Homo-oligomer: A and B are copies of this chain.
Amino acid sequence: MLDTIFNHRTIRKYKSTPIEDSVLEEILKAGTRASTTGNTQVYSMVVTKEKELKEKLWETQFKQDMVKEAPVVITFCADVNRYTKWCQYRKADPHYHNFLWFFTASIDALLASQNVALAAEANGLGICYMGPTIYLARKIIDVLDLPKGVVPVATLVVGYPDEDPPLTDRLPLEGVVHYETYKDYTKEDIDRIYAEKEAMEETRELLEINQKETLAQIFTDNRYKKDDNLHFSRELLDVLRQQGFMDHEKEEDR
């Protein structure tokens, strides 16, 4: 268990070897064993293997090739649709198309996804979380036919690794852990916490390639830019509206 966690590497190159059905079923079942709000299981896992569909998903993931190359793509969705339908068919009056339940369902979906990721790795598979899912959620909704009450929140590509990358660096534990209450960071704290990352050979190379003075500038100017952050913030909120998770905004207007 702990070995699996501590050996996690994101895999970006995959063999074309398919995943055995029994293994796929086990890792999906592992997802269902995660904690879930009141045992409602307000999530769905959409397992995509067809070439044409994977190509459409590849387009929603900024055309990162592991989406086409890995044999399986799993889209984890916040999903109140099934739970709502169950209530409706059982003479109950459901009210889960709201922001609280979007977030509740997202928690359920994300805990399930991490179980699937670890169970996959324990089976010798590699995984990669695809960041763009929440950027281009609207397109994924179209590709996967997601109904109202369902929003994709994470995508895992899964397959047998065709590379063996080293462990990625992490900040020292004191950088992310607070004891008793939150102690805000002084400049000295930031200097100490980021010292190792900033001294890495990889960082020096990035600065040279990108012609930047600091690593942070590569993040703010190149990777996660202001205009993109604002655009995709509005877009994500619009997707929540489209999928029916902000209906209480209308009720406020009454």
- Asked whether B2 lies within 8 Å of A154 as measured between CB atoms, the reply is no
Residues of chain A from 8 to 35 with CB closer than 8 A to chain B in the complex: 8, 10, 25-26, 28-35
CB-based contact B85/A185 at 8 Å: yes
Given that A122-B1, A220-B93 are contacting pairs, would A194 and B86 also be in contact in the complex, using a CB cutoff of 8 Å? yes
Q: Which residue of the partner chain, among B50, B90, B119, B168, contacts A2 with CB atoms under 8 Å?
A: B119
Q: A33-B6, A92-B214 are in contact. Are A39 and B168 (CB under 8 A)?
A: yes
Give the number of times this chain occurs in the complex, counting copies.
2
A139 in the interface (beta carbon within 8 A)? no
Q: Which of B94, B182, B191 contacts A44 (CB 8 A)?
A: B182
Q: A32-B171, A91-B213, A96-B229 are in contact. Are A236 and B177 (CB under 8 A)?
A: no
Contact with A190, one of B33, B85, B147, B226 (Cβ below 8 angstroms): B85
Sort chain A's interface into a size bin. 35 or more
Answer yes or no: A41 CB below 8 A from chain B CBs: yes
Smallest distance from the beta carbon of A67 to chain B beta carbons, Å? Answer: 15
Report the minimum CB–CB distance from A146 to chain B (whole Å). 5
The 5 A-B pairs with the shortest beta carbon distances in the complex, nearest first, are A90-B216, A92-B216, A114-B114, A95-B226, A1-B122
